Structure 1
Amino acid sequence: MDVVERELTDPWEGVLVAPACGSDIGVVVLAGSSGRVERERARILAEQGMTAMAIRWFGGPGQPPGICEIPLEIFTTAVDFLQANGAERVGILGISKGAEAALLTAVHDPRVDVVIALSPTFHVWCNVGPGRDGAQHPYRSSWTWREQALPFVPMDDSWTPAEPDSGPVAIRGWYERSARAFAHLLPAAEIPVDKARADLLLVAGGDDAMWPSLPFAEQLARRRRSAGATVRLIARHDAGHRPRLPGESRAPASPQFLYGGTAEADALLGAAAWPQILNMLRSDG
């Protein structure tokens, strides 16, 4: 399918990719803590007949340099934009911290029809990087809604990585330790996905080395089902933090972090999820 690509500069930095013939399906595409604009992911969605906008939601002009007290209104404004450009069905596809944002946006904005959460979390976590004031500590919420910070779980800085200092580290244990250390804060920080009107698809790997996304996804699914809401969970126990969708390039290794899984397992998880992603985005209920 022929697609048209347009750069976005205001109010976000990013790209809008749409079928040349137009579409009534719009998707907001969110990266995680890499901060990149997911151009390739937007392009493969557009090739399937959807208008996809991939935006930079921190670290860009006029934005906090880190994931610190990010207004969820950034994402509801993206929903406004897609609807103004003809979208009758709106989805948000996010990975990792982007999945956290997608889930929370759907909780607060009933116009979101579907959320695809790759490597998600069950809780709101603290900031990753500095806020507008340049400070990383004390820990603050990653998110705000209507200028109010959302309850969050801080990190336990007594944790130390098992890997040598000279190479990339797995930080899953840091999140697991922090959840134990601040167990009293977990209930208030749960993402209330039972309140979201959106359809929900969760995709997670059991070998995720960044955080325990598969246990998190299972908790999200239980909370949805306990309220009688539908949810789909697609998992592979040998996949890591970065499922790769058909048509996407292999993600480069990080000098800082271990992501878990293998290239083959991550691609197999993405291939298993892809038909469900397309079906949910296209479905009118």
Structure 2
Amino acid sequence: MSIGVLLLHGSSGAPDSDRARLLEAEGYDVLAPRWTVTHEVALESFPLDELADHDRLVVMGSSWGAEAALLLGALDERVDAVVAFAPSAYVWGRVLEDGSQRSAWTWRGEPLPFVPFDPGWAAADDPPSYVGLYRQSVATYADAERARIPVERIRDVLLVAGGDDQVWPAVEFAEEIARRRGDRPTRIVTVPEAGHRAVLPGEEPKTSGQRMARGGTAAADRELGGLAWPEILRLLADGLRVHRA
């Protein structure tokens, strides 16, 4: 049985090359495309078609890439499992230069419903933490329910979240995803002191991206990655066992 992995980076704009090498060393076929984090990205533009000849497809993403991974798992029936690092439970928008907001994603030509950012929020820290922005935006947007990612449609989900994530409340989002999925296969890996970027064994921490607080410590981020790695391998191996059964 062959397994293809689509690996999606976050707002850093840099593909997760170390992560791709780790997965390739385990025998998986990995695509880690560079994509532009902007508004109305067509989910169909991610190269799942290039992995379609595999028996099993897994989408793995971090932060905004995790948002895309969960959406692909929910909307594209070819996806068998999703691994989401620092996941979101909602679809978010992007703020344009004129201050207007549009959905981050489209599916089959239509923009997905999204939670708009609350324009009344202001950062109190330097570098800024955006956790309060995401919480406040969900709380104040009357139609947030429409913007929930339909995670109950995904076959198998692994969520990796740091309790000290200062970008968005990843653990709260992970718990919300798990509740929404009910008894569908869902695993959460978390470390209270870890931040937005888990570091898997054999990876170097990412340093690129927008200037912001991401939380965590070097040790806790590596601890989270160390706990997540065997769960990732287990999810991939579970697919092999199901196929052989």
The reply on whether 1:163 has 2:141 as its aligned counterpart is no
| RCO higher in structure (CA 8 A, sep ≥6) | 2
Task: Tell me the distance in 2 between the aligned counterparts of 1:254 and 1:264.
Answer: 21
- Superposed CA deviations along residues 122-171 of structure 1, whole A, max 9, x for unmatched, are 110111x65xxxx463101010001111000011122111124xxx2111
Between Structure 1 and Structure 2, the one with more helix by share is: 2
Matched with 2:144 is 186
- Give the alignment's TM-score, normalised by structure 1: 0.80
| Among 62, 65, 75, the residue aligned to 1:98 | 65
| Among 47, 50, 66, the residue aligned to 2:28 | 50
> Gaps spanning 5+ residues in structure 1: where?
1-22, 59-65
Task: Tell me the distance in 2 between the aligned counterparts of 1:67 and 1:282.
Answer: 34
Matched with 1:270 is 225
Task: Tell me the distance in 1 between the aligned counterparts of 2:225 and 2:143.
Answer: 33
Q: Give, in angstroms, the shift of residue 181 of structure 1.
A: 1.8
Looking at CA atoms only, which structure, 1 or 2, has the larger radius of gyration?
1
Cα gap change, 1:37 to 1:253, in 2 (>3 Å): closer
Pairing 1:25-36 to 2, within 5 Å after superposition: 25-36=3-14
User: For residue 121 of structure 1, what is the amino acid of its counterpart?
Assistant: S
Task: Tell me the distance in 2 between the aligned counterparts of 1:260 and 1:278.
Answer: 26
The reply on whether 1:235 has 2:193 as its aligned counterpart is no
The reply on whether 1:147 has 2:113 as its aligned counterpart is no
Q: Give, in angstroms, the shift of residue 207 of structure 1.
A: 0.5
Contact 2:14 2:208 in 1 (8 A): no
Task: Tell me the distance in 2 between the aligned counterparts of 1:216 and 1:280.
Answer: 20
3-state secondary structure, aligned to 1:104: helix
Identical pairs, percent: 43
3-state secondary structure, aligned to 2:57: strand
3-state secondary structure, aligned to 1:264: helix
Cα gap change, 1:260 to 1:192, in 2 (>3 Å): same
Contact 2:152 2:181 in 1 (8 A): yes
Task: Tell me the distance in 1 between the aligned counterparts of 2:194 and 2:81.
Answer: 24
- Give the alignment's TM-score, normalised by structure 2: 0.93
User: For residue 138 of structure 1, what is the amino acid of its counterpart?
Assistant: S
Matched with 1:210 is 167
> Gaps spanning 5+ residues in structure 2: where?
none
User: For residue 118 of structure 2, what is the amino acid of its counterpart?
Assistant: D
3-state secondary structure, aligned to 1:176: helix
Q: Give, in angstroms, the shift of residue 29 of structure 1.
A: 0.5
